[in-house]
Amino acid sequence: MDTEPNVDKSATPTVDQHAKLTVLGSTVRESIEHVEVFPAPANVDIVRFTTDELSSMCPVTKQPDLSHVVIEYQPLDWCVESKSLKLYLWNFRDRAVFAEALAAEIADEIMHSAKPRKVTVTLTQRPRGGIEVQAVASLGH
């Protein structure tokens, strides 16, 4: 587990503990490559993010794909900062990727950055041609 020394999780996080957050509180007008994390507070069992604003492109037709995504994880030492997640998801606007690969990539990013016990990403692509695609990617246990 990646833990920072002298981080008291029972106390309210201090400004020093949040010093690594570069996106929150700043004006950012572009996507970012990775999410940012902060120390997880005690007694948080599940964190869930939900958005309808995920867009990508079909790798074959290059048409836009719009998706609903639910990201749920069980934090250990770190939580994902939500503004950085939004900017990370912007990365996919102009990326050609299938829904299944996109769900797996997002799950991998959360696992790599926040190192939770478990992460599950459920991505539901809006219907095109009358077919809705739902991909679920899970890592951890």
Nearest to 80 by CA among 39, 131, 32, 43: 39
Mean pLDDT in consecutive groups of 10 residues from the start of the chain, 141 residues? 42 51 63 93 98 96 96 98 95 96 98 98 95 98 88
Domain residue ranges of the chain, discontinuous segments joined by +: 16-140
Q: Residue 86's Cα: distance from chain center in Å?
A: 8
0.85 exceeded by pTM: no
pLDDT of residue 31: 86
Query: Which three-class secondary structure string do you get for the chain?
Result: CCCCCCCCCCCCCCCHHHCCCCCCCCCCCCCCCCCCEEECCCCCCCEEEEEEEEEEECCCCCCEEEEEEEEEEECCCEEECHHHHHHHHHHHCCCECCHHHHHHHHHHHHHHHHCCCEEEEEEEEEEECCEEEEEEEEEEC
Known catalytic residues?
Answer: 58, 65
pLDDT of residue 2: 46
Determine the CATH number of domain 16-140: 3.30.1130.10
